[in-house]
Amino acid sequence: MKPLSTRDRILGGLWGASVGDALGVPVEFKNRFVLSSDPITGMRGHGSHHQPAGTWSDDTSLTLCAIESLLYGFNTDDMGQRFVDWLQQNRWTPWGDVFDIGLTTMDALSRVAKGTKAEEAGSRDEHSNGNGSLMRILPLALLFASEPVDLLLDHVHRASAITHGHPRSQMACGFYCMLVAKLLKGFTPLDAYLQTVEEFNSHYQKEPLFAAQLPRFSRLISGNIHVKNSDDIVSSGYVLHTLEASIWSLLTSNSFAETVLKAVNLGGDTDTTGCVAGGLAGVFYGSRAIREDWIKILARKGDLDCLYHEFADLCETKKGS
């Protein structure tokens, strides 16, 4: 088999995130004990949100809005307005209706709609550290992966702040994007994780505002999250839980399918854990590793295909420039 190209990995990340999201939608909020007797093994319809099989959530919708914005350059006000258009005008929804949104995201987008600058809209409150920016941050990682880490993280922090401005959420997005950048280069998941731990510590110790948050990341930056038992992995909507669960799922699996199914069957915030884990696994295993029937059933598959290929073109152009 030919080695994976960067394009394969980019498309793998994008499709992987959407597939993981759609796998998780019908069982969102179910706990892992319930799922252990009726696990997700493929695309399922109805369930928690009464949606057809292949329906993706706000995770993919906001990712699509971010991609669309990035096609015209990095502009957080433009990106924020597209998020508002999703909320108010159903932009990039699977079936023309918003059926799921987090309160922190709702509050932030309400502020953007009233004229607040996008980068100032996201709450800085410690209790506003849900996973609402982590779930949509993948395009930033893919587009700016080859940039110096300081520039990559500056873009990531600013994009996160549209809805989630607390340093902890920004750092979680930063860890994820640094990890994606290494997977995109072909590092194994474990090597990419260990190198990201080192880089994360080095970068975030420099600024007191971020350094103060490092103890919150102690489990992740210990370098041994992969040796944890599943009982030690929490899969709630808290940003660090989602980050840990997604990375654990990648590191303890041997295929794309195993990664996303393991992530979803942890229960809880299943769509976002599936989405975030699917992005990682898709980048590592590539688009060819994703089951074709899972991609074919996705809502608006043709629209996704066009947008993802256009964005992959942009990423490749940027990498070559």
The closest of 239, 279, 244, 297 to 67, measured between CA atoms, is 279
In a domain, 1, yes or no: no
- Residue at token pair 């110096």: 148
What value does the mean pLDDT take over residues 175-181? 98
pLDDT at 1 over 80: no
What are the angstrom distances between the C-alpha of 83 and each of 91, 136, 245, 279? 8, 11, 26, 20
Q: Any idea what the CATH number is for the domain that residue 221 is in?
A: 1.10.4080.10
Length of the chain: 321
Range of the domain at 207: 6-37+55-320
pLDDT of residue 65: 98
| Contact predicate 23/39, CB 8 Å | no
What's the total number of domains in the chain?
1
User: Which residues fall in the annotated binding site?
Assistant: 57-59, 269, 271-272
**The pLDDT value given to residue 163:** 98
Task: Check whether 7 has a pLDDT greater than 80.
Answer: yes
E-assigned strands of 147-231?
Answer: none
Is residue 42, in this structure, part of any structural domain at all?
no
Which residues lie across from 31 on neighbouring strands?
267
- pLDDT, tens digit, for every residue of 59-100? 999 999 999 999 999 999 999 999 999 999 999 999 999 988
Q: What is the pLDDT of residues 273-303, one digit of tens each?
A: 999 999 999 999 999 999 999 999 999 999 9
Residue 209 neighbours by CB distance under 10 Å = 10
**pLDDT band, residue 170 (cuts 50/70/90):** very high
Query: Residue 233: how many CA atoms within 13 Å on its side-chain side?
Result: 30
Query: From the annotation, which residues make up the binding site for Mg(2+)?
Result: 57-59, 269, 271-272
Q: Is the pLDDT of residue 129 over 90?
A: yes
Q: CB–CB of 321/8 below 8 Å?
A: no
More confident residue, 317 or 82: 82
Does residue 49 register a pLDDT over 90? Answer: no
pLDDT at 100: 83
34-64 per-residue burial string, b: 16 or more CB within 10 A, e: under 16: ebeeeebeebbeebbeebbbbbbbbbbbbbb
Question: Is residue 141 assigned to a domain?
Answer: yes
The predicted-structure confidence for 145-164, as pLDDT tens digits, reads as follows 999 999 999 999 999 999 99
Cα gap 130→103, rounded to integer Å: 9
φ/ψ of residue 252, rounded to 5: -105, 15
Whether the predicted pLDDT of 321 surpasses 70: no
In this model, does residue 320 exceed pLDDT 70? Answer: no
Average pLDDT, the chain: 96
Output the pLDDT for position 83: 98
- Inside any domain, residue 250: yes
pLDDT digits (tens, 9 = 90+) for 202-235: 999 999 999 999 999 999 999 999 999 999 999 9
pLDDT of residue 53: 97
Give tens-digit pLDDT for 181-199.
Answer: 999 999 999 999 999 999 9
pLDDT (tens digit, 9 = 90+) per residue, 223-269? Answer: 999 999 999 999 999 999 999 999 999 999 999 999 999 999 999 99
Q: What distances in angstroms separate CA 116 from CA 80, 107, 112, 127, one per listed residue?
A: 10, 12, 5, 21
Q: Is the pLDDT of residue 311 over 80?
A: yes
**Could you give phi then psi for residue 214, rounded to 5 degrees?**
-55, -40
For residue 245, being part of any structural domain is answered with yes
Q: Tokens for 147? A: 């940039």
Exposed / middle / buried, residue 100 (Cβ in 10 Å: 0-12, 13-18, 19+): middle
- pTM score > 0.85 for this model? yes
CA angle (59 as vertex; 57, 60 as ends), nearest 5: 80
